[in-house]
Amino acid sequence: MVKAIVGANWGDEGKGKITDLLAETSDVVIRFQGGANAGHTIINDYGRFALHILPSGIFYPHVTNIIGNGVALDAAKLVKELGDITAQGVPQPNLIISERCQLLLPYHILQDTYEEERLAGQAFGSTKSGIAPFYSDKYAKIGVQVCDLFDEPRLRQKLTHALEIKNVLFEHLYHKPALRTEELLSELLAARELIRPYVGDAVGFVHNALKENKTILLEGQLGAMKDPDLGIVPMTTSSHTLAGFGCVGAAVPPTAMEEVICVTKAYSSCVGSQTEPFVSEVTGEAGDELRRRGGDKGEFGATTGRPRRVGWFDCVATKYGCMVQGATNVALTCLDVLGYLDEIPVCVGYEIDGKVTDVFPTTPKLVKAKPVFELLPGWKCDIRGETDYAKLPREARNYVDFLERHIGHPIGIVSTGPRRTDNAMRK
Ligand code: GDP
């Protein structure tokens, strides 16, 4: 059976931690979309890790980890990350890179960087990892699959064709130097040798695993708000962040997906451009304090180090996020972070043009939305690491009940700290 672990919000909800937790009782963990442009923080017996491209099951020797065909594979970053984790004492992981996966190439990173420069102040806040140009090329059918690396004439021909287009852009739109096929080819052939041991038929592997009744986890990157169709368009990422896309990006049949675990934090955080609408944002000193206390080391991007914008829990966005993800169960993370507050504001509605709604709107309306807050009593104590739900203070349990009622999806896992074991199971 297949379980997807996906984000209800803007990303950074704590999916890595939940995946690491559930991987213990799973056989396969698959990344199905996105690239190395976001990070998952995991704290376990081996130490603290910020994974960018490797699936979060790599700490378990019994788990097969797959980089699915839906991922944007930056081979250099993958090899570096593998080197980094094994240097920290993690055993060599079981890893399969789908031969159908496409490669994020150096020109994607250049194009992303040049385009952000060109847009200057109006940029979308890209991490300049090449993700948008990568997916554009994939859908324009000029991408390079991992399997192409093993057919040199085909690879040369594909690169030559792609560079004809890229070089026009580079020289004439961005006024930058052109790239040469032969140089790129030799770079890719070198990368091929580094990833060769891991490349395989992930599609066949996944279908066999399902026949053998194995448990497969799909690990999403970013969250519902960043989906290019159902998210806050155009401030989204370029691949689908929804569990439904897991069927494509991990090659699992839709009928095999039995659970969708939607992860959300007990407050909000959002990376990206300042121009993005973020209705329940807290700024000023209150925001600085929440940012400092958030996550395991403050709310700063795991990949970029950028300070994340923070806000109070947003019921409107989270209800919508859980709905479009098809959540069967919600994991609420970082509840421990809120223990310093006397009262905790929760955004229960948006006021748009004088009317209050709890329906998440499209972008032209979202930019006008003002938050409607309700204040809940805080619990004023440290609950970090509590594993018995019944032992949480009444105010903390009431807070969870309140959120559950407003988002309309059952909260089953309450995470009370960043470590693998810091969880209180509710149902
Ligand atoms: P992901 O991309 O969804 O995996 O999320 P990130 O790893 O980018 O961000 C989540 C942050 O919250 C990380 O710093 C985690 O270590 C931390 N974290 C996860 N769960 C908890 C929790 O229950 N309490 C606290 N204090 N931190 C948590």
Using a 6 Å CB cutoff, which residues line ligand 1?
7, 11-17, 38-41, 43, 295-296, 302, 333-334, 336-337, 415-418, 422
Q: What whole-number distance in Å separates Cα of residue 211 and Cα of residue 279? A: 45
Q: What whole-number distance in Å separates Cα of residue 43 and Cα of residue 421? A: 10
The active-site residue, picked from 12, 112, 227, 422, is 12
Which among 267, 299, 334, 335 is the best mutation to test ligand 1's pocket, defined by most ligand atoms within 8 Å of the CB? 334
**Per-residue confidence (pLDDT) for residue 303, from 0 to 100:** 67
SS3 42: strand
Q: Bigger pLDDT: 41 or 96?
A: 96
CB count within 10 Å of CB 423 equals 21
Range from 17-26, 194-203, 293-302, 380-389 carrying the lowest mean pLDDT: 293-302
Answer yes or no: is pLDDT of 306 > 90.
no
Task: Indicate which residue's Cα is closest to atom 6 of ligand 1.
Answer: 12
**Per-residue confidence (pLDDT) for residue 124, from 0 to 100:** 62
Digit-coded pLDDT (tens) for 317-357: 999 999 999 999 999 999 999 999 999 999 999 999 999 99
CA dihedral 95, 101, 107, 109 (to 10 degrees): -60
Digit-coded pLDDT (tens) for 89-130: 999 899 999 999 999 999 999 999 999 899 886 666 667 889
Q: How far is the CA of 365 from the centre of ligand 1 (A)?
A: 30
Please report, in angstroms and rounded to a whole number, the separation of the first and last CA atoms in the chain: 20
Contact 159, 184 (CB under 8 A): yes
Residue 48: left if φ>0, alpha if ψ -120 to 50, beta else—which one? beta
Q: How many residues does the chain have?
A: 427
Q: Mind giving me the DSSP string for 134-190?
A: HHHHHHTT---BGGGGG-HHHHHHHHHHHHHHHHHIIIIIS--PPP-HHHHHHHHHH
Task: Indicate which residue's Cα is closest to atom 18 of ligand 1.
Answer: 418
Contact 41, 418 (CB under 8 A): yes
Contact 404, 315 (CB under 8 A): no
Q: Which residue has the tokens 């080391």?
A: 297
Percent of the chain with pLDDT over 70: 98
Across 225-248, average pLDDT: 96
**Per-residue confidence (pLDDT) for residue 57, from 0 to 100:** 92
Range from 38-52, 90-104, 264-278, 398-412 carrying the lowest mean pLDDT: 38-52
Q: What whole-number distance in Å separates Cα of residue 126 and Cα of residue 301? A: 13
Which among 261, 296, 336 is the best mutation to test ligand 1's pocket, defined by most ligand atoms within 8 Å of the CB? 296
Q: Which residue has the tokens 């997906």?
A: 257
Contact 39, 77 (CB under 8 A): no
Task: Indicate which residue's Cα is closest to atom 17 of ligand 1.
Answer: 295
**Per-residue confidence (pLDDT) for residue 123, from 0 to 100:** 62
Q: What whole-number distance in Å separates Cα of residue 66 and Cα of residue 63? A: 10
**Per-residue confidence (pLDDT) for residue 119, from 0 to 100:** 86
Q: How far is the CA of 71 from the centre of ligand 1 (A)?
A: 22
Q: Pick the closest to residue 179 from 154, 152, 198, 159 (CA basis).
A: 159
CB count within 10 Å of CB 338 equals 24
Atom of ligand 1 at shortest range from CA of 43: 16
Report the mean per-residue pLDDT for the chain.
94
Q: Is 12 a catalytic residue?
A: yes
pTM of the shown model = 0.94
Q: Pick the closest to residue 299 from 9, 51, 12, 6 (CA basis).
A: 12
Contact 235, 241 (CB under 8 A): no
Q: Bigger pLDDT: 272 or 82?
A: 82
Q: Which amino acid is at 254?
A: P
Q: What whole-number distance in Å separates Cα of residue 360 and Cα of residue 406? A: 13
CB count within 10 Å of CB 412 equals 16
Answer yes or no: is pLDDT of 273 > 80.
no
Q: How far is the CA of 14 from the centre of ligand 1 (A)?
A: 4
Atom of ligand 1 at shortest range from CA of 19: 4
Residue 93: DSSP 8-state: P
**Per-residue confidence (pLDDT) for residue 121, from 0 to 100:** 67
Q: How far is the CA of 298 from the centre of ligand 1 (A)?
A: 10
Answer yes or no: is pLDDT of 208 > 80.
yes
Q: What whole-number distance in Å separates Cα of residue 164 and Cα of residue 178? A: 10
Contact 96, 251 (CB under 8 A): no
Q: What whole-number distance in Å separates Cα of residue 418 and Cα of residue 14? A: 8
The active-site residue, picked from 20, 27, 40, 382, is 40
Q: How far is the CA of 419 from the centre of ligand 1 (A)?
A: 9
Q: How far is the CA of 28 from the centre of ligand 1 (A)?
A: 22
Report residue 175's pLDDT band, with 50, 70 and 90 as the boundaries.
very high
Q: Is 172 a catalytic residue?
A: no
Across 175-180, average pLDDT: 96
Q: Pick the closest to residue 19 from 409, 427, 416, 413 (CA basis).
A: 413
Q: What whole-number distance in Å separates Cα of residue 206 and Cα of residue 67? A: 12
Answer yes or no: is pLDDT of 427 > 80.
no
Which among 17, 237, 333 is the best mutation to test ligand 1's pocket, defined by most ligand atoms within 8 Å of the CB? 17
Q: Pick the closest to residue 195 from 88, 112, 71, 109 (CA basis).
A: 71
Sign of torsion, CA 237 101 167 177?
positive
